[in-house]
Amino acid sequence: MFDFKNKTVIITGGGSGIGKAASLLFTQQGALVHIIELSKEHAEKTVALIKKNEGNAFLHLCDVSNQQQVAKTFKEIGKIDVLVNNAGIAHIGKAGTTSESDFDRIFNVNVKGYYNCMHEAIPLMKAAGKGIILNMCSVAAQMGIAERFAYSMSKGAVYAMTLSVAKDYLQDNIRCNCISPARIHTPFIDDYLQKTYPGKEKEMYDALAKTQPIGRMGTPDEVASLILYLCSDEAAFITGCDYPVDGGFTKLNT
């Protein structure tokens, strides 16, 4: 099961966090993984780790918000079976406190970046007669989360784009789904706590973890496992769906 031998997988933001976990897992299942990253340091470390474990991966430095860079990168890769749109950035602020530049920055990476990659991947998938797209959404797309205005906007767009692509390319044998994590313990969380609550990192981490009904944050590996399943042949009957990975956050919070 979950055999990805002879399959090419593109993972944006594949150098750290959930993207890193997914990159490692796909290569363990035999995939050739192309990591698209802005951070050369993160990507090189992940590729080195994959090769140390006898996996197969390549690094492409690319800004997903730049369509010309994305087009050039996808042309270099040439073949694609699976696209995992994972690269994204966060922002804290309300509608009245979010600057235009911050709004544009979130939109360009989290929305336009996903569009740019799908825009280049879909013609390659159509030519191959099949393809799979997995978009990283968030519980913020459908839940009211305080001070996440621009981020929630961007993930709401990801949710809508997922449904649209799934509908439009049914006849082309292209599946498109998304995953909506709640709080996942990634380097972003640690950096955020260090910058925002210096000296109180553990206290605030515990407080954030307790907002998940299950009593803890999720791990990148747990999200990566669902990504792998939804992109596998075993999930061939699934398209146009969003899957919460949230420790009960969307349904069990009271």
Residues known to be catalytic: 151
The closest alpha carbon to 151, from 119, 180, 176, 194, belongs to 180
